[in-house]
Amino acid sequence: MSDGRILLNSWACFFVHFCIEIICFTVLTHTFGVSGLVQFFLYMAFDIIAFYPQFIVGVIHERFPKLDIPTISVAIMAVGLLILQFDKSSVRSMIAVGVIALGNAFLHDCCAIQTTLIGKGKLFPAALYVSGGSFGVVLGQIFGRSQYASKWCLFIVLLIMWGLLLFTNSSWLIKDYVYPKYDLVKKDSKYSYWIVVFAAYFVTFVRSFMGYAIPISWKKSTWQAILLFFIMGLGKALGGYLTDKFGAKKVGIISTLISIPFLICGKDMMVVSIIGVFFFSMTMSITFGMFLSVIPKNPGVAFGLTTLALGNGIMVPFAFGDLGFVVNVILIVVLSILCAIILGFTLKGDKERSSV
């Protein structure tokens, strides 16, 4: 596959992720709002269904490589939209959200497998794909609050997404393929597999939890919310690009440590805070690359482990609520330093990396 086609497919996956989150967060915001006990448990249930089953796609794809999982996943989301009672909270709508979340889970892993396969050992395609979700989340929330929101508009978004998936399917729904080598981690002992899995899981878990722990009081308007998620998405995409260019160890450690003062000092200062969020987001593709380095033959499972850690990280604020400014600052500092140490211990330096 040519470099131009790789970039085109990567952008297509970016917009697929963008469309997925527009659909999901429009439904959640418009139908169930953003506060209250019922909404709390609904959002928690949505995250569990959307994050936890993703590794299953990796298992299915390895067994049936030509099975059109993307179209099946789009059909699942379409069924959810048909069931949905868009204008009120009801048991029927809760079931619909669960079905939509399942389609979300399957579609996420499809694009992760594809961008891994076409990446030729580089992380930027996967990083670009993942960043699309940040843009979709905030636009879905905005559209969900508007008077123009309707599930028939979401069907149009779903059809656009399906068209993008049909365009990219030929690059990975094939019988004969070889996954490229990802060589980011040290593997110098019989225990290194589990050390790397734990390290990647822990760093991803911390990043997920800290996404909710970051002190932010300045996000009071729509444009500020858009800016925050834009910077978050930009950080994820650029993190993959810089990792390919300068190495995971440098980018991982530097971005993790440099984000600390900006995150803890930017509570009331938007510019300071978004700089911290930008650097904080850059390790997304690195932890995925760590999993790929030790699970080279099943990127679907590797991505599933990443999202498992993300889902578990989200459960902490769900379980304990707001921990307060001082506790959050302490956790940000301690956990960030610990993550930097773990990344330094497990990731290869430039001189240790083999060519891919």
208 and 137 inside one domain:
no
User: Rounded to an integer, what distance in angstroms lies between the CA atom of residue 210 and that of residue 51?
Assistant: 17
Q: Is 338 part of any domain?
A: yes
Number of domains in the chain: 2
Of 292, 319, 331, 45, give the one whose Cα is nearest residue 211: 331
How confident is the model at residue 341, as a pLDDT? 94
166 and 197 inside one domain:
no
User: Rounded to an integer, what distance in angstroms lies between the CA atom of residue 263 and that of residue 253?
Assistant: 16
pLDDT digits (tens, 9 = 90+) for 48-86: 888 888 888 888 888 888 889 999 999 999 999 999 887
162 and 231 inside one domain:
no
151 and 213 inside one domain:
no
Q: Is 191 exposed, middle or buried (0-12, 13-18, 19+ CB in 10 A)?
A: exposed
Q: Which domain holds residue 277?
A: 192-352
Q: Dump the DSSP string for 175-239.
A: SS--PPP---B---STTHHHHHHHHHHHHHHHHHHHHHHS------SHHHHHHHHHHHHHHHHHH
124 and 265 inside one domain:
no
247 and 342 inside one domain:
yes
User: Rounded to an integer, what distance in angstroms lies between the CA atom of residue 107 and that of residue 74?
Assistant: 8
Q: Is 184 part of any domain?
A: no
Q: Is 25 exposed, middle or buried (0-12, 13-18, 19+ CB in 10 A)?
A: buried
How confident is the model at residue 254, as a pLDDT? 94
Structural contact between residues 92 and 85, judged by C-beta atoms closer than 8 angstroms: yes
317 and 227 inside one domain:
yes
Within the chain, which residues score under 50 in pLDDT?
355-356
Say what the pTM is: 0.88
155 and 215 inside one domain:
no
Q: Give Cα separations from 39 to 34, 46, 203, 245 (angstroms).
A: 6, 10, 28, 43
CA dihedral 286, 277, 135, 284 (to 10 degrees): 10
| Residue that finishes a domain, picked among 171, 202, 230 | 171
207 and 152 inside one domain:
no
117 and 226 inside one domain:
no
Of 68, 72, 69, 173, give the one whose Cα is nearest residue 114: 173
pLDDT digits (tens, 9 = 90+) for 289-326: 999 999 888 888 898 889 889 888 887 776 666 777 78
Q: Is 187 part of any domain?
A: no
Token look-up 């940040």 returns 134
Q: Is 181 part of any domain?
A: no
User: Rounded to an integer, what distance in angstroms lies between the CA atom of residue 73 and that of residue 57?
Assistant: 10
**Cα maximum dimension of the chain:** 59
Q: What's the CATH code of the domain at 201?
A: 1.20.1250.20
Structural contact between residues 9 and 168, judged by C-beta atoms closer than 8 angstroms: yes
147 and 59 inside one domain:
yes
